[in-house]
Amino acid sequence: MASPGREKARAHGRDSREGLGTGQQEHRGDHREQAHKGNEIKGALDESRVSRLRRSMHRRTLRAMCFLRHATSEAGHGGNAQIVERSRSTPDVADHGRTFPNAVGRPEVHSLHDTEPLPEDACRTESEGDHVDVQQGLAELAADLRALQIQHGNPALREIERHAPAERPLPPSTVSEVLNGKRLPRLDLLLSLVQTLLGFTDGGHHRPVPSRDPRIESWRDRWSALQLLQRSAKQTVAATEASQPQPRTQASPPSPGPDDTARVSPFDEPPAVRIFVAMPGSSMGEEARWTNIPEIRRRLLDPVATRVGRALGCETDLVIEKEKTFMGTIHRSMFREAMEADVYIADLSGANPNVYLELGVRWALRDAVTVLIAQDVREVRFNAAASRVIGYGPMPEELEEAQRQIAEAVVGGVRRREHVDSPVREGSAYVTVPRAHYEGLATEIAGLRAQQGEDLIDAALALSRDDQSRSIELLHEAVARNPSSLRGHHELGVALRRENRHAEAEAMLRICVRLRPDHAPSWRELGTTRSKRGALQEAADAFARAVELDDSDGETWATLGGLHRRLARRDPPERFDADELERALGCYRRAVALSGNDTYPRLNEARVELLLHGVHGTDPSPVLDRFRRLEHLARFAAEDTAGADPWPVFDLADTLLLTGREEEGLIELRKAIGLVRPHETESVLSSVVAPLQDFLIYGQLLTAPARSAVDAAVAECLRHLPPHTPS
């Protein structure tokens, strides 16, 4: 009795003769799959971010120019806000003929009042004529750089470093900070980064781009506009401070460069230390010796801020809640200060309950730096009494000592970043970070993990098929690094199926269709895997979904044809379901129409037609004549693979055996068997022998020489199969 041996995986799991595995079609399609795999699986990239790049650069630069123009109008024609026009400039993308500011080359200076009016909508900022948010500008620049990175294949940071110009290296840590908007890079670093990114292609290759490439110029202009925004913003801040009665204490240390990794602010100076004071709003208590709150600020708190600024070499912002004048909920403002202030001074004089509430919020949210002060430390209540409290009073000696102790406590806490002075958070395993910072880090980590996963997938696919165990190990690591990787789960499912680990393969492919329900290749592979483990109806459902999503994939149609051919076998095996064979024939014909001269669907189409002649008892000679013609195509395909793929050689052997040329056919059959990898022998030969046995069921189907040749071929295949293998 003939056996359904062809039900087993063809070359790496797909039944070539029946379309049930990767087998012949997988080998023949490898070069096509490699060419399209990136576009097919990575196609979910957000194209809108990339297409937004040029529009946003124009819009944001115009907005910057609008701000500078407003600054000039405020300062008059003799003011500092100017637009610098380069002799070699690039018009904006809206073709207004206007150039962007630049500090490079020989600038020709014009007042902004001499330029033509900007478009009305370009001047609409979030604060109409007020200070433009430089941090937002940095974030937008970073977003556009990331969009450019994605547009050019999303190269990893190490790849960017490797292909950077020799005269301007791009360390990964620096590039990471720039891409995440943490600081404005120097102009040469920005241009070097853009130049390097422009050289990457979708295939991962890099072609050097000249430094004079016109695509780089808009980034030069963008950087200059943002730099002028920073300068103007600093002028605005300075003017505001000059108009206020309480000047900010200031030190003047050397400013770090734009690429200094310790830098947090977008300006050149070190960031200011914000000192917030929580104290009673009206009364310092019945027993207080010093009740004049403005005097307490002038004689105690301002000198403390001055000492801290000198010691740390930076500016200080001294803020007292009761002095704020803007409208809004007081609790919201107080609690925000408890979270954000670098230094928090809580004046517990008078046992004001609101101050204790704010102190509790501060202790719950921040590790440090929190300093407790009181005019009489004996009045401190509750658990706060267990903490160190610095006393102060109006007398000169105690005032001087209080200034010294408070300043030393602040400076020591700021310098010792690991120090925790909160009794609530001391020993806690948790830290508090701003939500935006946390989300930014989470996004960055996710991106790095995704890139690591992609690198591992590439490494796995670069291995020889003879090292499948190592390939599967790398793919497992890839999906562990990036659990949402469609490509990683897809490749792992295919690799596991090739190793006949069907249950594991199906689990991976189920994840694929959950991650992306419209991914037709994953449904096709899921159908193939289910067919391999004998779940034919489930396989049919998966194939139906695959062709519903993409009816232009010849491989899917051919694989579905193989499933119908398998369903056509009945028990006893001498009987076939003609309707299922007709369905198989229709699928193979559709695959032929989509696949051109690929021998895989063409040979299977001829095999099914030959079986139908046996079922109906009709003359098979037209089909046998077609096998003679297909011999030429099969021979070309076998020679074209240069002995790397056994399946075209098996096809050539079939054309010879079915036309009665036994000796030639057996030579090609043995040659093909010799090309099969040892661990795939059972799967491949089971797929080869089953269709040959089908032809022997019908005595009138083959000529005597052809029948003898097929008998010999079946015996040759069985000789290489283990005894338990069904045939």
pLDDT digits (tens, 9 = 90+) for 111-152: 333 333 434 444 444 443 434 467 788 888 888 998 898 888
Rounded to the nearest 5 percent, the helix, strand and coil shares of the chain are 60, 5, 35
In this structure, are 578 and 661 located in the same domain?
A: yes
Separation of alpha carbons 522 and 343, rounded Å: 56
Q: At what angle do helices 681-696 and 704-719 cross, to 10 degrees?
A: 150
Helical residues (DSSP H) of 499-598, grouped into ranges: 502-515, 520-532, 536-549, 554-568, 578-595
Select the more confidently predicted residue: 70 or 104. 70
- The reported pLDDT for the residue numbered 270 is 56
Mean pLDDT of 64-77: 43
Which residues constitute the domain of residue 367? 273-415
In this structure, are 188 and 118 located in the same domain?
A: yes
Return the structure tokens found at 572.
Answer: 């006893």
In this structure, are 307 and 385 located in the same domain?
A: yes
Which residues, 6 or more positions from 532, have their beta carbon under 8 angstroms from its beta carbon?
Answer: 7, 8, 9, 13, 20, 21, 497, 500, 502
- The reported pLDDT for the residue numbered 256 is 40
In this structure, are 599 and 681 located in the same domain?
A: yes
The pLDDT tens digits for 509-548 are: 999 999 999 999 999 999 999 988 888 889 999 999 999 9
Say which CATH number the domain at 281 has.
3.40.50
Relative to beta strand 343-347, strand 389-391 is unpaired
Q: Is 80 exceeded by the pLDDT of residue 380?
A: yes
59 occurs within a structural domain? yes
Separation of alpha carbons 623 and 186, rounded Å: 73
Select the more confidently predicted residue: 57 or 288. 288
232 occurs within a structural domain? no
476 occurs within a structural domain? no
- Terminal CA-to-CA distance of the chain, rounded, Å? 9
480 occurs within a structural domain? no
CA distances from 474 to 194, 265, 467 (A): 32, 41, 11
239 occurs within a structural domain? no
Asked which of 157, 190, 225 is the last residue of a domain, the reply is 225
- The reported pLDDT for the residue numbered 236 is 65
In this structure, are 534 and 660 located in the same domain?
A: yes
Average pLDDT, the chain: 77
Largest Cα–Cα distance of the chain, in whole Å?
Answer: 124
Asked which of 378, 397, 415 is the last residue of a domain, the reply is 415
Return the structure tokens found at 406.
Answer: 């408070």
Helix (H, G, I), strand (E, B) or coil at 344: strand
Select the more confidently predicted residue: 722 or 695. 695
Q: Is 60 exceeded by the pLDDT of residue 96?
A: no
The sign of the CA dihedral 206, 209, 214, 218 is positive
- The reported pLDDT for the residue numbered 30 is 46
Percent of the chain with pLDDT over 70: 73
In this structure, are 35 and 83 located in the same domain?
A: no
In this structure, are 59 and 197 located in the same domain?
A: yes
Asked which of 164, 192, 225 is the last residue of a domain, the reply is 225
CA distances from 178 to 148, 152, 201, 396 (A): 13, 17, 22, 50
In this structure, are 608 and 655 located in the same domain?
A: yes
Domain count within the chain: 3
Give me the residue label for tokens 């602010």.
Answer: 265
Mean pLDDT of 660-678: 92
Q: Is 50 exceeded by the pLDDT of residue 488?
A: yes
Relative to beta strand 108-110, strand 83-85 is antiparallel
In this structure, are 17 and 131 located in the same domain?
A: no
358 occurs within a structural domain? yes
493 occurs within a structural domain? no
Mean pLDDT of 214-241: 75
In this structure, are 79 and 29 located in the same domain?
A: no
Sheet holding 370-374, edge to edge: 316-320, 273-278, 343-347, 370-374, 389-391
Q: What is the CA radius of gyration of the chain?
A: 38
491 occurs within a structural domain? no
Long-range (24+ apart) CB contacts under 8 A made by 354-358 are: 354/280, 354/281, 355/278, 355/279, 355/280, 356/381, 356/382, 356/384, 358/278, 358/334
- The reported pLDDT for the residue numbered 264 is 41
In this structure, are 61 and 32 located in the same domain?
A: no
Which residues, 6 or more positions from 167, have their beta carbon under 8 angstroms from its beta carbon?
Answer: none
Mean pLDDT of 603-607: 92
In this structure, are 34 and 55 located in the same domain?
A: no
Q: What is the pTM of this model?
A: 0.50
